[in-house]
Amino acid sequence: MPHSHLIKPLIGEQYPTIDYGKGVFLYDTDGHEYVDACSGAVTANLGHGMEEILQSIVNQGNKVAFVYRSQFSNQPAEELASFLNDKTGYPWTFFVNSGSEAVETAIKIAIQHWQEKGKPLKRKILSRWLSYHGITFGALSASGHPSRRERFDSFLGDWPTIEPPYCAHCPFGKTYPSCGLACASQLDTMITRIGAENIAAFMAEPIIGAAGGAITPPKGYYERIKEICEAHDILFISDEVMTGCGRTGTFLALEQWGVKADIVAVGKGLSAGYAPIAATLISEKVMEPIVQGSKVIMSGHTFSGNPMSATAALAVLKLIESEKIIEGVDQKGTYLKNLLEKCRTEFPFIQDIRGRGLMWGIEFDERGAGFTSFIVQNGVDNGILLYPASAGIDGRKGSAIMVAPPLNSTKRELEEMVKRLRRTF
Ligand code: PMP
């Protein structure tokens, strides 16, 4: 009888098997406890085992679990779209099942937008080096993430990238604010060189997550980016798959720069891990020529906006609203940051601490990505889950982890996380 193999990220590696979770804690089948200091993959924004969310899913399942989007709409999906519209001001919502698909859809809609306007085909999406937008071919083409691209580089779109707004190691060797935001101005130069007629959109994560460890651009950066996009008449896509739904202290992170993108991708925190769902939010300006034209978005998946996932997301967002969870993120984030800063004085290999809300990156010295894996594994052994985010991967300095706990973590739980983090260090 052949053995069955569940393919894991690293084949042959042993992973603990999780049994159950409660709040910020997870327990494996051997009885080990882990404090979830990174919400899994910056996803479980409300922690684990939230009864009211689970009950909503069961209730919906008892009514109907699946309808096909080409045949029916469904109430939870309609209500979720309306909730997202109220929260963000984007009138159009397209549901998908993962962050990668939300980004993929954003790219396709940007391309379609220009086609419907009768422009010659705009083939390029610009993005930044040090970025992660997803694993599907379109999203990966726009990702400045060397290790994820490695095997597929020659299949990917020939899409240029600009330097990241990485103040800790400024790619231009400058210092903010005397730098004059050279990293943002580079977009202007790049568009001029390639020709705006060839570019459908510029895409960026408001705060660089998986590829950099919460690299946070300074004030003025997105204001300038938006200005440049508008001046050249190209669309601005904000990938808020990680930063969205309250993670950084506002529903969308870009609100903190006072900027609105043309298209936004959200995922992860949308259902906080209670069901797979993500969404592409689209402005009226982008949709208008599509509504006037073909009326069809050539994207979509069997499970898009299925009632179970939409119900999970609705229950999550309603809870976040009724418990005023986003309102508490800044204060908790500052508390966590202060605890992390104390670690910095204790452990000289910590080089930089940056982030917003409850999304913090800790960058290490020149030891490289191997050191990140070592710390993350040591974390597991010390009962704390950390998110690896290696900025050092392409030869730049540093490698990083992220601490991004559930948004409803208590101060005592944050203290417990930092206690285990210090033990790990
Ligand atoms: N965009 C960003 C900013 C992400 O952080 C991720 C996931 N780490 C994705 C897209 C892809 O999302 P998913 O893994 O759900 O496909």
pLDDT for 391 = 56
pLDDT for 147 = 84
205 CA: nearest ligand 1 atom: 3
Give the C-alpha separation, 244 to 254, whole Å.
Answer: 9
Is the minimum distance from the CB of 98 to ligand 1 under 6 angstroms? yes
Q: Residue with the nearest Cα to atom 8 of ligand 1? A: 210
pLDDT for 397 = 56
Domains of the chain, with CATH numbers? Answer: 18-49+326-424 (3.90.1150.10), 54-322 (3.40.640.10)
For 217-242, what is the mean pLDDT? 98
136 and 143 Cβ atoms separated by less than 8 Å: no
Is it the case that residue 121 has pLDDT exceeding 90?
no
Q: How far, CA to CA in Å, does 303 sit from each of 58, 67, 68?
A: 18, 9, 7
CA of 260 to the centre of ligand 1 (A): 20
Is it the case that residue 37 has pLDDT exceeding 80?
yes
* Mutation pick for ligand 1 pocket among 242, 247, 309 (CB with most ligand atoms within 8 Å): 242
Tell me what percent of the residues of the chain surpass a pLDDT of 90: 88
Predicted ipTM > 0.90: yes
Is the minimum distance from the CB of 41 to ligand 1 under 6 angstroms? yes
Is the minimum distance from the CB of 145 to ligand 1 under 6 angstroms? no
Count Cα neighbours of 30 within 13 Å in the Cβ-side half-sphere: 7
244 or 121, which is more confident? 244
- Which burial class, exposed, middle or buried, applies to 100 when counting CB atoms under 10 A from its CB (0-12, 13-18, 19+)? buried
296 or 420, which is more confident? 420
Is the minimum distance from the CB of 241 to ligand 1 under 6 angstroms? yes
Q: Residue with the nearest Cα to atom 14 of ligand 1? A: 99
Give the C-alpha separation, 215 to 171, whole Å.
Answer: 13
pLDDT for 398 = 61
pLDDT for 142 = 97
Is it the case that residue 341 has pLDDT exceeding 60?
yes
SS3 189: helix
Give the C-alpha separation, 130 to 165, whole Å.
Answer: 10
Residues ≥6 apart with Cβ < 8 Å to 23: 47, 48, 49, 406, 413
User: Could you tell me the pLDDT band of residue 102, with boundaries at 50, 70 and 90?
Assistant: very high
103 CA: nearest ligand 1 atom: 10
Is the minimum distance from the CB of 134 to ligand 1 under 6 angstroms? yes
203 and 106 Cβ atoms separated by less than 8 Å: yes
For 376-396, what is the mean pLDDT? 83
For 118, the token pair is 């009768």
Angle at 408 between CA 405 and CA 411, to 5 degrees: 75
Tell me what percent of the residues of the chain surpass a pLDDT of 70: 98
Q: What is the pLDDT of residues 284-337, one digit of tens each?
A: 999 999 999 999 887 789 999 999 999 999 999 999 999 999 999 999 999 999
For 50, the token pair is 């939230």
Residues ≥6 apart with Cβ < 8 Å to 271: 277, 309, 312, 313, 316
CA of 85 to the centre of ligand 1 (A): 22
Is the minimum distance from the CB of 242 to ligand 1 under 6 angstroms? yes
Lowest-confidence segment of 221-230, 383-392, 405-414 by average pLDDT: 383-392
Is the minimum distance from the CB of 144 to ligand 1 under 6 angstroms? no
